[in-house]
Structure 1
Amino acid sequence: MLRHILATSILLAGHAHASGNPPAPVVGAAGSTCGYVTDQRATIPKSQDIFPVEITRIDGRSTPLDARSRHSVQPGERVLTVTDHIDPHRLPGAAVSQIAKMKRLELQRAYKPFTVKVEPGVSYAIGARLLRDRLDAQSIRDNAYWEPVVWEERAEPCP
């Protein structure tokens, strides 16, 4: 498990992209002193097995309980804690029940830490990539059937 977390953190330092093709370079707004992380975008690429997440902590601090889905953060490395919201209709029936059982039994272990290098004036959309080759019982018990990813970056200046 620790190896997977470290691999995820290392992967993110280079900004993982859902499509396998890096997006066009993003130029942050001149003079911006913050960046954003978001767990909601209207056009999440489910066809690429990317699904919504919920960001529950940023750098160890709980996120607000209101309906806010975009969080302003200082530039630099930020550690997010996320949980997946993978559409159960996209999973085999046996996997759905095993995932529900794992989340019920494991509680906090169902969440994953995720490191994102935030640049000033850039918004990062965070999602959960379903790993279809990891839908076996052991991978589900280990919460290894998905990984957090940055699936979109866009310029967004601070107010």
Structure 2
Amino acid sequence: MTNGFNRPALRRTLLAAAFAASLATLGTAQADDTATSATVRVRSGASLTVEQRVSEELRAVMTELIETGAFGDQSPQRIALDVDTPAQRVSNLGVLVDSARDAHDGLRVLAVTPGGGGERMGLRAGDVLVAVNGTSLAGAGGAAASLRQTVDSLPNGGALAFDVRRDGRAQKVSGALSSVYLPAMHLTIGNGKQLASNAGATTAAALAPATAAATSSAEQGCGRISDYDIAPRQQQLHAAKIMSIDGVTPGPSGTKAYRVAAGMHTLKVAERIENSYLSFNDRERNAALASERYKTLTVDVAPDTTTLIAAHLNEDKRSEWQGGAYWNPVAWKQSAEACR
């Protein structure tokens, strides 16, 4: 036990917070913004392989997320996620702060990762962080974001100095920031391909007049168009959203695959590329005219086939947000799947 926390349970809690934050960017799970710098060291038995250690921790994280309702009312069989992160440097402060409460007197430390940078500096659960490197963390909103920005802006080995209130007394806590460099990661959970073609598929009748759709489907067969995100990032393929099919908004909301008559269809597509892959900010991204946010894609849907749609990031134009030059919609994969 450390500061009232069981070490394995604390490690899983911090992992779950970090993982849930990643899922929230995909619209799958909601997480409080309470975790600051989230490299958590795995201390499983030395006899386990790296793969076994990662699997062990991931299983614990998924169990905790499911038990706490992070996936809503989805059954485990219908949970399917595709999480990608680029190679990155991560600052290993290892401090969990309470950003949900008013930080008028500073950020309260809920827990520290055993062996993490915060613990080595001398930070403890219950401390109140009043300032970091001269920047106040009290009396204003966004204190957790300010702490994260300060930590992330420092190089490996950079100096951190905290003004701390502990047991009602002011103290100074300082040390060198430790960073680790993580490889690019691709994590797939569940059978995304199957869900892309089957889960909640909308019928052709929802996309066109019923009589014409039924006749076309009967004569030509049918297939599916899906924007389910299982696209490989190493091929510069990212999430996309189908806004309309042949001029009709598909639905219901949340559907990821749409059944259509076999043949040519015109799609209006929006990109859902993660910010970390782009060279401009959301303000510039959202400055584009509404007519520029969507692009047209024509696809030829074969019978009994699911066509997967993605946003292709144009590597040489990743900083050109004007006119949406940085991306194009593509039909990147076709999978055989019976359409009935």
- Give the TM-score taking structure 1 as reference length: 0.70
Unaligned runs of at least 5 residues, structure 2: 1-218
The structure having more radius of gyration, on CA atoms, is 2
Alpha-carbon distance between aligned partners in 2 of 1:73 and 1:103, rounded to the nearest angstrom: 31
- Which amino acid in the other structure matches residue 64 of structure 1? G
Cα displacement (A) at 1:57: 0.1
Equivalent in the alignment of 2:296? 113
CA contact (8 A) 2:222 2:303 kept: yes
Alpha-carbon distance between aligned partners in 2 of 1:66 and 1:84, rounded to the nearest angstrom: 17
Alpha-carbon distance between aligned partners in 1 of 2:261 and 2:286, rounded to the nearest angstrom: 31
CA contact (8 A) 1:38 1:70 kept: yes
Alpha-carbon distance between aligned partners in 1 of 2:292 and 2:223, rounded to the nearest angstrom: 28
- Kindly provide the CA deviation profile for residues 48-99 of structure 1, in whole angstroms up to 9, marking residues without a partner as x: 110010001000011114210100011111001000000111223xx234xx
Equivalent in the alignment of 2:267? 80
Equivalent in the alignment of 2:227? 39
CA contact (8 A) 2:227 2:242 kept: yes
CA contact (8 A) 2:317 2:325 kept: yes
Equivalent in the alignment of 1:23? none
Alpha-carbon distance between aligned partners in 2 of 1:40 and 1:148, rounded to the nearest angstrom: 14
- Give the TM-score taking structure 2 as reference length: 0.34
CA contact (8 A) 1:75 1:120 kept: yes
Alpha-carbon distance between aligned partners in 2 of 1:144 and 1:108, rounded to the nearest angstrom: 13
Task: State whether structure 2 residue 256 is matched by structure 1 residue 69.
Answer: yes
Q: Identity of counterpart residues, as a percentage?
A: 28
Task: State whether structure 2 residue 325 is matched by structure 1 residue 144.
Answer: yes
Q: Show structure 1 runs of 4+ deviating over 2 A.
A: 100-105
- Which amino acid in the other structure matches residue 227 of structure 2? D
Task: State whether structure 2 residue 241 is matched by structure 1 residue 54.
Answer: yes
C-alpha distance 89-40 of structure 1, shift in aligned 2 (>3 A): same
Match of 2:314 among 96, 119, 131: 131
Q: Provide the aligned C-alpha RMSD in A.
A: 1.8
CA contact (8 A) 1:32 1:157 kept: no
RCO higher in structure (CA 8 A, sep ≥6):
1
Q: Give the aligned length.
A: 122
Alpha-carbon distance between aligned partners in 2 of 1:34 and 1:104, rounded to the nearest angstrom: 39
CA contact (8 A) 2:220 2:261 kept: no
- Which amino acid in the other structure matches residue 96 of structure 1? N
C-alpha distance 91-102 of structure 1, shift in aligned 2 (>3 A): closer
Unaligned runs of at least 5 residues, structure 1: 1-30
Alpha-carbon distance between aligned partners in 1 of 2:254 and 2:287, rounded to the nearest angstrom: 24
